[in-house]
Amino acid sequence: MEFRKKIKLFALAICMGAGLLLLDVEEARAQQFAVKANALNWVLCTPDIGFELVTGEHTSLSLSASGHYKPYGVNSKIFLLQPEFRYWFNGRPLTREFVGVTAFATTYDISVSNRRFDGEALALGLTGGYVFNLGPRWGMEMSGGFGFLFFNQKQLTLHDNYEDAFVGEGVKANSWGYKLFPVKLGVTFIYIIK
């Protein structure tokens, strides 16, 4: 199966899973639900929004999306979808320390100096962080994590013919592999809706 189709199926599965959790209205009434925004992404002109649903006494599930188009005039396009499952140590989710498992799917087209990177990536990793309470409904989360990034991309230089990277309707990748990669880095503001 083509890598781009795998990315789309992965993103669809993430959205469907989050939708099923949110549709479980009877159980969700007693659960907390929060909206989040990562300030580091916003500083980099990559707006994001996230949602977190408390699923148990020590657990929560979050989903965030971010992306940008030519930030600061740089020729770059990125879209990223990231779910995360978290375990909270103190027995009260959305406050204090946590560890988590996260994944993300992204598509990108970035031109840096005389090089262009156009492709997709999937990542899986471990995260950790701490949430400071700023008020009854507000919090600030400091988080980070590392994992493996699997990528499939067209990597070209300024003098390459970009049209040679296309074969019919499909795209011919010339670079793929995996790397140890920071899968999360954030200073995130949280507002608990209920």
Neighbours of 151 (CB within 10 A): 21
Question: Which of these CATH numbers, 1.10.287, 2.40.160, 2.40.30, 3.50.50, describes 3-192?
Answer: 2.40.160
Q: What is the pLDDT of residue 173?
A: 59
Q: What is the pLDDT of residue 160?
A: 62
Residue 60 has pLDDT above 80, yes or no: yes
Residue 145 has pLDDT above 60, yes or no: yes
Determine phi and psi for 187, rounding to 5 degrees: -120, 100
Question: Is 51 or 175 the better-scoring residue by pLDDT?
Answer: 51
Using the structure block, give the residue that is written with the tokens 């493996």. 148
Q: What is the pLDDT of residue 48?
A: 93
Kindly report the average pLDDT of the chain as a whole number: 82
What is the arithmetic mean of pLDDT over 76-102?
92
Using the structure block, give the residue that is written with the tokens 């909206």. 35
- pTM, 2 dp: 0.77
Q: What is the pLDDT of residue 28?
A: 44
How far apart CA 176 and CA 30 sit, in angstroms, is: 45
Residue 186: band (very low, low, confident or very high) from pLDDT cuts 50, 70, 90: very high
CB 89 within 8 A of CB 97: yes
Q: What is the pLDDT of residue 62?
A: 94
Residue 34 has pLDDT above 80, yes or no: yes
Question: Is 89 or 154 the better-scoring residue by pLDDT?
Answer: 89
Q: What is the pLDDT of residue 11?
A: 61
